[in-house]
Chains A and B, each alone.
Chain A
């Protein structure tokens, strides 16, 4: 019985890389919050920071002061993989593998990432990898082991352009189709019914939308405090991340439920269907 379960677990576990191309769109925040939300749903989750030299995920999760070993220590054999796993303070099922801050991207290779993730698959339902910005070595490392890719973008031209580039690379590496999170949607615009930004983003990128996250100053507060907003029950932004987690876990969650503004999401889902047909 146990063996069968173990086997099933390894087969079912998913490595998901969160990336964007452009910096500052909210990859790390998304990784931390989706990870926390998945763990809250009862899945066993490890978040891995692949941004070696510029680590942040530990800060956003509020685990900075618990780091003893990091990803590079694992790669270079200074510790066992489980020694680098840091358990979250709030959630039993959430773990972090931090990046090294004093090294750079060349300390890890795509092969190392694949090997480490294959080991993590045995123990975790989800391995979430926080990718660095850019399309260079660090990005290659982050997507090498991925089963699925989540692209985070903002409703602005430069971020969407970079997302498009990344989606192209992801398709070329046969890691597609990528899933899209549009982060920092302005709720005032939503209430005015002015969702052109989202429609335009989907029209250009033509990928599956998995989440829309509102622009919310509370996110800044929560990342500074090291407490993911996804765990704040009353927060709409937290709800947006919890919805993403549910969709990742295979549940159907309508885009109308969390963010109000019904009519406009009708238009949105129409766009999504068109996008799918084209893809």
Chain B
């Protein structure tokens, strides 16, 4: 069976779904489809749904360049493959789309909404997140490395950084007030837990491991000591 490429419009741009099979063939099918509809697609923002295809950073980069050459911009990549997600995130591409609130008056059937991978397990990121990179994950996020200023972590659950946390972090992004943020050096640009937003004090002593959580409606940070309640 030759690979299938389906294009449909969604709020965020055009969602392009690519069927299973050999990636090289699928990629060719994608280019062919884009060539066929080049006038219609010009200037569009694309979100690729590549399902289980494994795409490394170099291929992803080539893919994006090809699309740019065609006058298209690649906005996001949806995949069930962790490798593909990581390559996409490394390039600053979105890897999930916020599910549109179902509008009560809308006659459109719900199956038009994007299916988001709901495996809310922990995501392990083993590298330093530099400015401009963004990790969004519905479960917990653990980073082994630093989170530099200008980087963002948005997690449905907890965020643990085994390194310096200096970027923006949002734990419990789907409303979980119990979520915590831990880091070896907790100095984020801004820290959010559920609906609460905190800006850490500028004056700081020696860096020490800290955990931030919500207590009585305020975000507080305490020394992160192993064994106690976090």
In the complex, A2 has a CB within 8 A of chain B: no
Set A161, A162, A173: member contacting B57, Cβ < 8 A: A173
Stretch at the interface among A50-58, A163-171, A254-262, A266-274: A163-171
In the complex, B133 has a CB within 8 A of chain A: yes
Supposing A161-B149, A174-B57, A204-B148 touch, asked if A168 and B130 sit within 8 A by C-beta, the answer is: yes
In the complex, A242 has a CB within 8 A of chain B: no
Supposing A164-B131, A165-B131 touch, asked if A171 and B90 sit within 8 A by C-beta, the answer is: yes
What distance in Å separates the Cβ of B201 from its nearest Cβ neighbour in chain A? 18
Kindly supply a per-residue 1/0 record for chain A positions 127-144, scoring 1 wherever the CB is within 8 Å of any chain B CB and 0 otherwise: 000000000010010000
In the complex, B69 has a CB within 8 A of chain A: yes
How many angstroms between the C-alpha atoms of A164 and B57 in the bound complex?
18
* Interface of B, helix, strand, loop or mixed by DSSP: loop
Q: Which residue of B lies closest to A136 (CB)?
A: B68
Q: CB distance B132 to A165 under 8 Å?
A: yes
Q: Which residue of A lies closest to B91 (CB)?
A: A172
Supposing A172-B61, A174-B57, A174-B58 touch, asked if A164 and B149 sit within 8 A by C-beta, the answer is: yes
In the complex, A206 has a CB within 8 A of chain B: yes
Q: Which residue of A lies closest to B88 (CB)?
A: A172
Q: CB distance A109 to B132 under 8 Å?
A: no
How many angstroms between the C-alpha atoms of A110 and B145 in the bound complex?
32
Q: CB distance A172 to B90 under 8 Å?
A: yes
Set B91, B128, B131, B133: member contacting A206, Cβ < 8 A: B128
B90 cross-chain contacts in A, Cβ below 8 A: 168, 171-172
Set A137, A167, A173: member contacting B130, Cβ < 8 A: A167
A109 cross-chain contacts in B, Cβ below 8 A: 69
Residue total for A at the interface (Cβ-Cβ under 8 A): 18
B91 cross-chain contacts in A, Cβ below 8 A: 169, 172
Residue total for B at the interface (Cβ-Cβ under 8 A): 22
B150 cross-chain contacts in A, Cβ below 8 A: 161, 164-165
Q: Which residue of B lies closest to A135 (CB)?
A: B132
How many angstroms between the C-alpha atoms of A204 and B167 in the bound complex?
12
In the complex, B65 has a CB within 8 A of chain A: yes
Q: CB distance B58 to A164 under 8 Å?
A: no
How many angstroms between the C-alpha atoms of A278 and B92 in the bound complex?
22
Q: CB distance B133 to A168 under 8 Å?
A: yes
How many angstroms between the C-alpha atoms of A167 and B151 in the bound complex?
13
How many angstroms between the C-alpha atoms of A195 and B77 in the bound complex?
43
How many angstroms between the C-alpha atoms of A161 and B150 in the bound complex?
7
What distance in Å separates the Cβ of A207 from its nearest Cβ neighbour in chain B? 10
How many angstroms between the C-alpha atoms of A168 and B58 in the bound complex?
14
B145 cross-chain contacts in A, Cβ below 8 A: 278
What distance in Å separates the Cβ of A278 from its nearest Cβ neighbour in chain B? 8
How many angstroms between the C-alpha atoms of A151 and B135 in the bound complex?
25
A173 cross-chain contacts in B, Cβ below 8 A: 57-58, 61
Q: Which residue of A lies closest to B128 (CB)?
A: A206
How many angstroms between the C-alpha atoms of A175 and B81 in the bound complex?
24
A168 cross-chain contacts in B, Cβ below 8 A: 90, 129-133
How many angstroms between the C-alpha atoms of A167 and B127 in the bound complex?
13
Q: CB distance B57 to A172 under 8 Å?
A: yes
What distance in Å separates the Cβ of B146 from its nearest Cβ neighbour in chain A? 8
B87 cross-chain contacts in A, Cβ below 8 A: 172
Kindly supply a per-residue 1/0 record for chain A positions 1-44, scoring 1 wherever the CB is within 8 Å of any chain B CB and 0 otherwise: 00000000000000000000000000000000000000000000
How many angstroms between the C-alpha atoms of A204 and B131 in the bound complex?
10
A169 cross-chain contacts in B, Cβ below 8 A: 91-92, 132
How many angstroms between the C-alpha atoms of A204 and B189 in the bound complex?
14
B130 cross-chain contacts in A, Cβ below 8 A: 164-165, 167-168, 171
What distance in Å separates the Cβ of B179 from its nearest Cβ neighbour in chain A? 26
6 contacts between A and B (CB under 8 A): A140-B68, A164-B132, A165-B132, A204-B149, A204-B166, A278-B145
Closest 3 CB pairs of A and B: A168-B130, A165-B131, A164-B131
Taking A164-B132, A172-B61, A204-B148 as given, write out 8 further A-B residue pairs in contact, using a Cβ cutoff of 8 Å, ordered by the A residue number: A161-B150, A165-B130, A168-B90, A168-B129, A168-B130, A173-B58, A204-B166, A278-B145
